Structure 1
Amino acid sequence: MSKKFPNLFSPAKIGNLTLKNRIIKAPQSSGMSNIDGSVTERLVRYYRDQAAGGAAMIIVEYAYIDDIGSKSAHCHLGISNNEHIPGLAWLAENIREQGSIPAIQIEHCGRQKFLGTQPICAPSEIPWPKLWNQYGVQAVPHALTIEEIQDIVHAFGDAALRAKTAGFELVEIHGAHGYLLTNFFSPTTNRRNDLYGGSLENRMRIYLEVYRDIRKKVGPDFPVTIRLSGTDYEPDGFGIEDTIALAKALESEGIDALHISGGDHHTMIHQVSPMSMSICHNTWAAEAIKKEVKIPVIASGSITLPEYAEEIISSKKGDFVGLGRPLWADPEWPLKASEDRPEDIRPCIRCNEGCLERSFFLYKAVTCGLNPVISREGELKLKPASKVKNIAVIGAGPAGMEAARVCKLRGHNVTIFEEKKTKGGLAVEAAVPEFKADIRPLTKYQITAIEKLGIPVVNKQATEADLKDFDSVICATGSTPVKPCIPGTDKKIVADALDILNKTVKPGKNIVVIGGGLVGSETALHLSENGHDVTLVEMLPQIMNDVAVTDLLAYTERISKTNMRVLTSTRLVEVIDDGVIVESKGCTKKLPADTVVLALGLKSRQSLYDSLVQKGKEAYLIGDAVKPGKIMDAFHTAYRIGLKI
């Protein structure tokens, strides 16, 4: 029993199932099935690793229930016909063999069909805005007839029976996140005037019919749960009061547990919340519903650390926690927490780069920004090095520390050289704004890993002489700010964004930030939220062109709540003693400023690497030293080089 997290690692029941702890792997689409929805070996390897990490239950990703219009995404798992059962049985058995209870979520996508192909079915002819922008009239859903609704109800029941037949021990109905059932529940998407529209009773009708059909087919004792959004966060959508009424109605019907999340794909920052949003983002909804029902409630969404999960259970905000992205960042999250080793957990930073921006949104299998092994289980496993080498790693930023960790675990002798007094590289500056606080536990985890592995850190700028006795050198030398050739940028009122963030320079009250990329936008927002008068200047038509879509949505919302001014299509001409001269559409004007902050990009530091290679030394580039990028680039390049040497 964990001493640090006693409530999190106490057993509890859902229906007739006893779960060994309160941790449930939340369902997340992976894009690892075959095109016909059948199970692949890749999918089995992935879930086998997830189950081995210590979660009490694995809820397998949503599986589509029919072959008409329920399939949502590329390589989407299917449960629509009996030919899916052999693969699903193989999957369930592998999960069970690792000591976790196999469960599966079943769904109909409704109007949220990522593939954009007809048929698209919904209660009303109201398209998903993103799909409309992408496909136009092709995105308009067909308004379901009563007969078609009943066919879908029966398809849910048939799919649940297939899940039971395949050996899953629990079925979860997907009634959240803007898929078909919420299309009926939300006034935003339901404009019907029949039995399935209008009143709350009518809008929740399909939920009850689906549950009854499932219960009739799987029997009275088979556990059935449902995932609900506490609210869809739409201005004309449904609120927590409606969801509480639905939860109580489902409880009276006999549902075994309620899995509470929030949002839909139109309001996705509330569903897959980025780091600028609150932690445990939808726990408030789980808490509100738990006060009104007696059945177990699963809280989910941005529960990144064990202490958050323990607090949720101990304060009775939820009976279980559903973890999605955190188990991608570290599948052994439950195991490490149970052994009172939370410092060894690689924490999810909610960057949404690996799991969404660079994978799922591009019709690829998911990965994780911090864990390249996700979707590559069995292929990128750490193995002992065939020959032990003495390796020098230059730089103790995210890339350098990850490369050092991987090389040390493979048996190499590793030494880190770091010219700064602190470890963490640019992640230290990146984590200064409170809306990027998720990065702080990650840096702490990396430093702890280096210390526990006994990797020495030499605090000096490495020279070629220092490196002569090493077999290999990994250059994680990072990047440095670009210095523009613009008049006046050498004046005293000018500072680089990094110097503002690391407090080398104290900014004045009135600030102009030049450069509206990620660093500039975040620095400007940070200063504005801390009481400065800020103007952000960007020469392109839009700021934040290099950020994940969830960050763009969240930052845009935050900026709208400040007094920050944003000038796009505007170019810096000159810095003067009391401000800047900018040009837009052929006209110049002065912007007064006490401090001018430059955020005009970064350039790689490769001089040491170039010199070493020129002299025949085995050397490698990783992280920003390859090309200025994000934390995902640091971790992925470092891990792969660590495997290669």
Structure 2
Amino acid sequence: MKYTKLFEKGKIGKLELKNRIVMPAMGTGFASSTGEASDEIIRYYADRAKGGCGLIITEICRIDEETGIGTSNQLCATDSKHIPRLVRLAEAVHAYDTKIFLQLHHPGNETMGRLLHGKQIVAPSPVMCRIIGEMPRELTTEEVTAMAQKFVKGAVIAKTAGFDGVEVHAAHGYLVNQFLSPHTNKRTDKYGGDFFNRMRFITEIIVGISFACGPDFPVCVRIDGSEFIEDGLDEKECIHIARYLESLGIACLNVSCGTYESGATIIEPSCFAEGWKKHLAKNIKANVKIPVIAVNTIKHPDFAEALLEEGVSDFVGVARGQLADAEWANKAKRGDDVLIRKCIGCMNCFLVANQGRPIECTVNPILGRELTHGDDKLVKDGNGRTVAVVGGGPGGMQAALVLAKRGFKTVLFEKSDRLGGTIKFGSVPPHKELLAELIDTQEAELKKWGVDVRLNTQGTVEECRKIGACGVFLAQGGNPIVPRIPGVEKAVLAEQVLSGEVKLSGKNIAVIGGGVTGLETAEYLSPNNQVTVVEMMNAVGTTLYPSVLHYLMERLNKNKVEILTGHAIKAVGDGEITLGVMASAAEVTRKADVVVLALGVRSNRALYEEMEASFDKVVLVGDTEKPGTIVNAMHSANDKAFVF
């Protein structure tokens, strides 16, 4: 498909962009501990520029070292010492005719004292963000005036470093947004009260930047289309703000939504449909004449094209899509949509970020490691030697891909009639369709790189010998855990249910196991059955990102799924189950027509010893090595194939 709108040139102020694709700000943790642009972050942004993106807006950039620390290893523009490395960053992006804006940021009450070296966090007013749980100190009038100048200084640093413009972050409940919103601004001085007083802080920032950097240096403002919180900014007020900001002479608006207190609206899990919030940007665009950038949970190029055709925005913000695939834009331009690794909305990138680690991506094991694991770092020494990969799950497919890129003749054995491993079944529950697309993409990658895929074929020692394999990757996955209890033979496996082998309707069902598989299987079954999830621990879904778990539990509650924690399966009877109460060791009996086991897997190493006796190199990846998630399998397979 040819995407005419998506690859049409566009302008922001006097700045011309090669297409309508924008990579909006996302925190990475790739900067140095001193706030300078590290080699890692430069390569990360350069790869997205090389991948065809028209405009890159950097992650949140610190403008205040005292109270403005949003994350560790955060880009900084607080001192001239940061300029040299920012120059390198701008140059690396410009080499691909991509433009770059530096995003100026202060977290306000959406940070923690431990990041501020024990200092109290600050805000316009002593209003606590309930997600953070720390009461901020109100900034004095003099401090607010001085803070505006720190934003201006950050813009001057950006211009000096050769950036094409700046973006003032006035959304997501951060400091500038907190001044705009009546929810957080309770001040009685010149920076609080009526609309114009609440606009004073951002006005001083924008006017100051225009004066210091000149009228031709583009200033973009990221704003909310709605805060989605009680007594916060609603759609009407956000339109009013947009029109006011336009009157100040800014070059463009970048429309998002939400604050930490409505956080899932900022970074949506997979249950949010593409374009669910498009009306926010469309209404703002209808009320201003300057260009509008907007994020809309975009996964697919055809959907991005449709948004532009509809007039929702002038530029599309493709955020996590470009974490998942740095070549998102180039592949779309070539019409290689199936080869785009789409973001699956699993939230793993932010799960690890919340732990203070650099972000990583489930479907892209290269993210953040482009300097060490990029395709240009592959040692292409395969020289046509044959390698066998046994198992066609995501790990096996990733290993086969990397080996093929290295020049090995790669043969992948898959015992079933299609690739995908257990994620074939993981893609069946509601809102998991993107997992099926991941299988399609990996399959297309294998075809492109000439991997010999042999379906319905057991990867035995004999088969591997036949092809003359110099080594074997075992990626057979794991075997479902089946407890040794009376009557367990009457139970069925979650895999059998999700595959359609076992069909259930009108039954009283006990799903044993409150992990991801158990909860998603319960959701799948709940429209037509009465379902209870039994979990021996005191909580379910503990490995899931909070917003993913929140919405999953909301749907389970809506479908009247009972969650029974602190109980373990002891026996399966006829129409009933016996459970052990973990807190008291007592036993209870409950009705259950069907028992579905979702207790995880054990590593399947059935072939390991035999393979090891027959081949010099035998490599275990994914669940075959150690039970884990898709991200574990992908990373394990990628890295082991990288050094094989």
Fold shared, TM-score > 0.5 on shorter chain: yes
Residue 307 (structure 1) aligns with: 302
Rounded to whole Å, the distance in 2 between the matches of 1:241 and 1:525 is 37
Q: Which residue of 1 aligns with 2:553?
A: 556
Q: Which moved more, 1:284-293 or 1:72-81?
A: 284-293
Within-5 A mapping of 1:622-641: 622-641=621-640
2:357 corresponds to 1:357: no
Residues 21-60 of structure 1 correspond to what in structure 2 (within 5 A)? 21-60=19-58
In the superposition, relative to structure 1, how do residues 259 and 560 fare at CA in structure 2: closer, same or farther (>3 Å)? farther
Per the alignment, do residues 479 and 240 of structure 1 end up closer, same or farther by CA in structure 2, a change over 3 Å counting? same
Give the whole-Å Cα distance in 1 for the aligned partners of 2:587 and 2:282: 55
- Separation (CA, whole Å) in 2 of partners of 1:199 and 1:422: 63
Q: Select which of 385, 398, 405 maps to 1:402.
A: 398
Q: List aligned pairs for 1:149-298, cutoff 5 A.
A: 149-298=144-293
Residue 423 (structure 1) aligned with residue 415 (structure 2): no
- Of 27-36 and 188-197, more deviation after overlay is shown by 188-197
Between 1:554-563 and 1:35-44, the stretch displaced more is 554-563
AA of the residue aligned to 1:27? A
Q: 1:68·1:119 contact (CA, 8 Å) conserved in 2?
A: no
Q: Name the counterpart of 2:470.
A: 471
SS at match of 2:216: coil
1:120 positional shift = 1.5
Does the 8 Å CA contact 2:166/2:218 hold for their aligned counterparts? yes
Matched, 1:498 2:495: yes
Say if 2:122 is the partner of 1:121. yes
CA deviation after TM superposition for structure 1 residue 472, in Å: 0.8
Q: How does 1:561-580 map to 2 (within 5 A)?
A: 561-580=558-577
Within 2, Cα distance between the matches of 1:553 and 1:402?
31
Q: Does the 8 A contact of 1:130 with 1:266 survive in 2? A: yes
Residues 512-568 of structure 1 show CA distances to partners (whole Å, capped at 9, x for unaligned) of: 21111111011112222x343221111111111122333223323333433222111
For the residue of structure 1 that corresponds to 2:260, the secondary structure is: coil
Q: Deviations over 1:94-151 (max 9, x none)?
A: 211122112111111111225543242101223333433xxxxxx3211111111111
Deviations 1:248-299 (A, max 9, x none): 1111222211111122233322212121222234333212222222221111
TM-fit CA distance, 1:574: 2.3
Q: Which stretch of the first structure deviates more once superposed, 50-59 or 231-240?
A: 231-240
1:209-241: per-residue Cα shift (whole Å, max 9, x none)?
Answer: 322222222222211111112222324432222
Aligned residue type for 1:451 = K
The offset of 1:588, in angstroms, is 4.3
SS, match of residue 159 in structure 1? helix
Write the deviation string for residues 125-180 of structure 1: whole angstroms up to 9, x where unpaired.
Answer: 23333433xxxxxx321111111111111211221122112111111110112211
2:72/2:115 contact within 8 Å kept: no
Q: Look up the match of 2:606.
A: 607
Give the letter aligned to residue 100 of structure 2. Answer: P
> Cα–Cα, structure 1 residues 186 and 498, in superposed 2: closer, same or farther, change >3 Å?
farther
- Look up the match of 1:131: 132
Match of 1:140 among 110, 128, 135: 135
Identity level (%) = 35
Amino acid at match of 1:238: L
Match of 2:328 among 317, 326, 333: 333
Structure 1 counterpart of 2:483: 484
Alignment partner of 1:433 is 2:434: no
- 1:462: how far off? 1.9
Q: Could you tell me the TM-score, scaled by structure 2's length? A: 0.94
2:370 to 363, 368, 377: 377
Q: Could you say which residue in structure 2 is the equivalent of 1:320?
A: 315
Q: Give the match for residue 136 of structure 1.
A: none
Q: CA deviation at 1:346?
A: 1.4
Match of 2:442 among 443, 446, 450: 446
**Following the alignment from structure 2 to structure 1, what is the Cα–Cα distance between the partners of residues 262 and 568?**
33
How far residue 196 of structure 1 moved from its aligned partner, in angstroms, is 3.4
Q: Secondary structure at the match of 1:362?
A: coil
Q: Which shows bigger deviation, 471-480 or 207-216?
A: 207-216
Counterpart amino acid of residue 613 in structure 1: E
Deviation at 1:201, TM superposition (A): 4.2
Gaps of 5+ in 2: none
1:135 alignment counterpart: none
Pairs within 5 Å for 1:588-603: 588-603=587-602
1:273-329 superposed Cα distances (whole Å, 9 cap, x missing partner): 121222234333212222222221111142111111111111111111112211111
Gaps of 5+ in 1: 133-138
Please list, as runs of the form range in 1=range in 2, the aligned pairs for 1:383-394 lying within 5 A after superposition: 383-388=378-383, 389-394=385-390
SS of alignment partner, residue 173 of structure 2: coil
Distance 2:554 2:115 in 1: 27
Counterpart of 1:63 (choices 61, 64, 71) is: 61
Letter in 2 for 1:454: G
Shift, 1:202, TM fit = 3.8
- Whole-Å separation in 2 of the counterparts to 1:347 and 1:101: 24
Is 1:9 matched up with 2:3? no
Q: Please report how far the alpha carbon of residue 6 of structure 1 lies from its aligned counterpart in structure 2 after TM superposition.
A: 1.0
Aligned alpha-carbon RMSD (Å): 1.9
CA distance in 2, matches of 1:410, 1:605: 27
- Tell me the SS of whatever aligns to 2:8: coil
CA displacement at 1:247 relative to structure 2: 0.8
Partner letter of residue 113 of structure 1?
T
1:302–1:350 CA contact under 8 A, matched in 2: no
Query: Contact (CA 8 Å) 1:273, 1:302: kept in 2 or not?
Result: yes
Deviation at residue 205 of structure 1 after TM alignment: 3.5
Task: Determine whether 1:512 maps to 2:510.
Answer: yes
TM-score by length of 1: 0.94
What SS does the aligned partner of 1:210 have? helix
CA deviation profile, 1:483-525 (whole Å, cap 9, x unmatched): 111222222xx22111111111011323221111111011112
Structure 2 contact 381–407 (Cα < 8 Å) conserved: no
2:72 alignment counterpart: 74
Residue 269 of structure 1 contacts residue 554 of structure 1 at CA under 8 Å; is this kept in 2?
no
**Alpha-carbon spacing, 1:188–1:487, altered in 2? closer, same or farther (3 Å):** farther
Instruction: Tell me which amino acid in the other structure corresponds to 1:598.
Output: L
One-letter identity of the residue aligned with 2:600: G
Alignment of 1:455-466 (within 5 A): 455-458=451-454, 459-466=456-463
Equivalences, count: 632
